[in-house]
A and B are shown apart, each in its own frame.
Chain A
Amino acid sequence: SYELTQPPSESVAPGKTARITCGGDYIGSKSVQWYQQKAGRAPVLVIYYQSDRPSGIPDRFSGSKSGNTATLTISRVEAGDEADYYCQVWDGSSDHPVFGGGTKLTVL
C-alpha cells in the first residue's frame, strides 16, 4: 500500500520560516494536500493541489513539490501556527486517500 513519510516534529522561532516535508514514491505525479490540526480540533485544509490555498488561508502558507518530496512552507511563523500538519494524496492504484503520519510544529 502507498505510504507518505513526514518527520514527527519540527520547531521554529516566531517570525521565521517553517518547512514541513512529505515523501512518497512518485509523489511528483500526484496532487498533494495539507491539513492543519490544532489541539482538540478537526483538521483544516490549508493547501490543495500542492500549491492552491482555500479562501481564508493566509498567503504565508505555500506548497511545493520537488522529486519525491512535497513541502509545506509557512513564512513569518506565528504562535497560532503551532499545530499538527498532515499531507494527503489520492492513491490511484487503490482509489483511496492516504495520509502522512503528521508533523507536530512547535513554535519556540
Chain B
Amino acid sequence: QVQLVQSGAEVKKPGASVRVSCKASGYTFTSYYLNWVRQAPGQGLEWMGIINPSADNTDYAEKFQGRVTMTRDTSTSTVYMELSSLRYEDTAVYYCARLAGEFFDFWGQGTLVTVSS
C-alpha cells in the first residue's frame, strides 16, 4: 500500500535551516510528483512547491522562492524539503503529498517544525 513516511519533529532557532524528509513506498517513486504543503497552528493548508522525482525539476510557490529547496534521492525513494532563514511564522506542520492528476491522493503524517529562540 502507498505510504509516505516523514521525519520527526524539529525545533530550530530563527535564521536557521530545517530539512524534512518524506520516504515513499508502495508505488513506483518516479511515476508521481510529490508536493509540500504546510499548516500553521490553527490555520489552513498552504502549498509550498512540487518536485518531479523522475526529472528532478521543481516549482515553488512565489512566497517561498529563494528560501525553499526540494530535492529527491531515487535510491531511497525519498524527497526532501529544506527551508532556510527560518522565522517564527514558519512554525507549522509540514506535509508531503502525492499528486495524482490535479488532486493529492496520499499524504504523509506531517512533521512539526517549531521556530523558537
In the bound assembly, the distance between CA atoms of A88 and B37 in angstroms comes to 12
**How many residues of chain A get a CB closer than 8 Å to chain B's CBs?**
23
Q: Is the CB of A99 within 8 A of B102?
A: no
Q: How far is the CB of A43 from chain B (nearest CB, A)?
A: 6
Interface residues of B in 46-61 (CB under 8 A from A): 46-47, 59, 61
The answer to whether residues A31 and B102 also contact, given A99-B47, A100-B44, A102-B45 and a CB cut-off of 8 A, is yes
- Chain A interface, >50% SS class: strand
> With A86-B44, A97-B102 given, is the CB distance from A42 to B35 under 8 Å?
no
Q: Check if B44 sits within 8 Å of A99, measured CB to CB.
A: yes
Count of chain B residues with a beta carbon within 8 Å of a chain A beta carbon: 19
| B108 contacts partner chain A, Cβ-Cβ < 8 Å | yes
Say yes or no: B102 contacts A86, CB within 8 Å.
no
Contacts of B35 in A (CB 8 A): 97
Q: Which residues of A contact B (CB under 8 A)?
A: 31, 33, 35, 37, 42-45, 48-49, 54, 86, 88-90, 95-102
Q: Chain B residues in contact with chain A, CB under 8 A?
A: 35, 37, 44-47, 59, 61, 95, 97, 101-105, 107-110
